[in-house]
Amino acid sequence: MVELAPLRGLHYNLNMVPDLAQVVTPPYDVISPAQQSAFYIQHPYNMVRLILPRTKSADTPENNRYTRARRDFNAWQQAGILVREPQPTIYYWETTFNYEGRRLTRGGLVGLVRLEPFESGVVRPHEKTFSATKNDRFQLMQQCQAHFSPIFSLYPDPKNQVLDTLRQGRPATPLFAFEDADGFKQRFYRVTNPEILGDTVNKMAELSIYIADGHHRYETALAYQDWLRRQFPTASPRAPFNYVLMYLSNLLDDNLIILPAHRLLVTHRLAQFDESQLLAQLPEYFDLQKFTPSVGDFAANGTQLAAALAQAGETGTALGLAAPGSRIWLLKLKPGVMNGRLAADIPPALAQLDVMALNYLIFEKIMGLSRQEQDDEETFKYASTAAQALEAVACGRVGLAFLLNPTRIAQVQEVAAAGLIMPRKSTYFYPKILAGLVIHPINPQEEVGL
């Protein structure tokens, strides 16, 4: 069963930092180097200094990006920039945003969830992770002893009982209300009524949790839990390191949006890459159609390409391929390829995924890429829009872009429920969860709960 718990979190002191839009950030893994620099300049207390601190050429084991994050984190608490909640709290969070001409509001809660190994089936992943990223997050957690960013997770609640219960207990005035850098309206309420919290906890206990975004941080939290258990063998079962900070939203909410995660390949890093060989072998598995957009500027054709890809995907798996020289193809998977003898060892829940056809047929079968090459974050980049993918090819940052339709919510649920794992970056839940509204400090001597 899911064990949800309130926390005494740390959050910004509005008397010291009145404009939260200046200090909150997206999750660390979608912050580009240019954005990192901009966040550093934007405000001296911006969260980027904690979640994605800069590396310096003179770094040593004693003075490095992780130790600097620890010093900033401690200094901000001592100076009253970050303040501690006086009582256990679960937060109710609303985000209002525009998507494809619609005005949507996604609701969610932020609290602590007891860490469970994936084998228990209580918390279910759906994506593979990168080893180097988990090592990076572990070193940061060791130094700072905190969860800075909530993991974005989902749960199926047909009657929306969990959020309705918490919403009833929210105060009239939010703790935070502001418009972020993307123009999204954020409203963040603290709920402290013990009866409401207890009811919310009980309703959540009956459900399952699917990680939407934050697999690396969840696996890192498990590793950190093991590390601290060895150091504090007599710590309480309710010690904070046995829990992880989560944002939880209803899987069945119509306002839940998944964007695609297009693959961008830095082909010069692939020793055996041969574009002509790739194009010659694709017809074995796909029907190829040259895409000829009406707009002359290659990078400006993202909207047209996304629409054509969506239409092609209505009757099966469809991919887009963009190459230098303003060349674009639509690839339509031939009938029976992914459910025949070729892919007999792939479970049906995975075989239906567009990203699985891309990884298995193109990256492995045709291009011969090893798992290590596909695990290389310098070789594989990602974009959430077709325009971004085309721009990356047009300006020469990458040598190829493979474009996908978004993975559907039902597919995420089916894969996770079957105990299976999708390829890395199979989903891009939108909008991302901001880092900086609440932090979970981890003191092994404390206990979590009411």
pLDDT band at residue 346 using 50, 70 and 90 as cut-offs: confident
| Per-residue confidence (pLDDT) for residue 305, from 0 to 100 | 87
Cα–Cα distance list, 383 to 66, 210, 355, 436 (Å)? 27, 23, 14, 24
- Indicate if the pLDDT at residue 288 is higher than 80: yes
Angle at 329 between CA 327 and CA 334, to 5 degrees: 160
**pLDDT at position 295 over 60:** no
Predicted local distance difference test score (pLDDT) of residue 352: 87
* Torsion sign, CA atoms 351, 352, 353, 354: positive
Q: What is the mean pLDDT of the chain?
A: 91
Dihedral of alpha carbons 117, 119, 125, 127, sign: positive
The secondary element (H helix, E strand) that includes residue 210 is: strand 209-213
Most confident of 77-91, 296-310, 379-393: 77-91
Percentage, residues of the chain above pLDDT 90? 66
Range of lowest pLDDT (53-57, 220-224, 338-342, 353-357): 338-342
Question: Distance between terminal CA atoms of the chain?
Answer: 19
Summarize pLDDT for 400-427 with one digit per residue, the tens. 999 999 988 888 778 877 777 777 778 8
pLDDT at 322 over 90: yes
The average pLDDT across 51-76 equals 95
Residue pLDDT, tens place only, 194-250: 999 999 999 999 898 988 888 889 999 999 999 999 999 999 999 999 999 999 999
| Residue 53: per-residue pLDDT | 96
Neighbouring CB atoms inside 10 A of 385's CB total 16
* Euclidean distance between CA atoms 371 and 245, whole angstroms: 31
- pLDDT for residue 298: 65
Range from 36-45, 108-117, 180-189, 385-394 carrying the lowest mean pLDDT: 385-394
Residue 153 has pLDDT above 60, yes or no: yes
Residue type, 233: P
Any idea which of 54-68, 144-158, 328-342 has the lowest mean pLDDT?
Answer: 328-342
Average pLDDT estimate for 132-151: 93
Rounded to the nearest 10 degrees, what angle do helices 386-394 and 302-312 cross at?
120
Tens digit of pLDDT for each residue in 71-106?
999 999 999 999 999 999 999 999 999 988 899 999
Identity (one letter) of the amino acid at 266? Answer: V
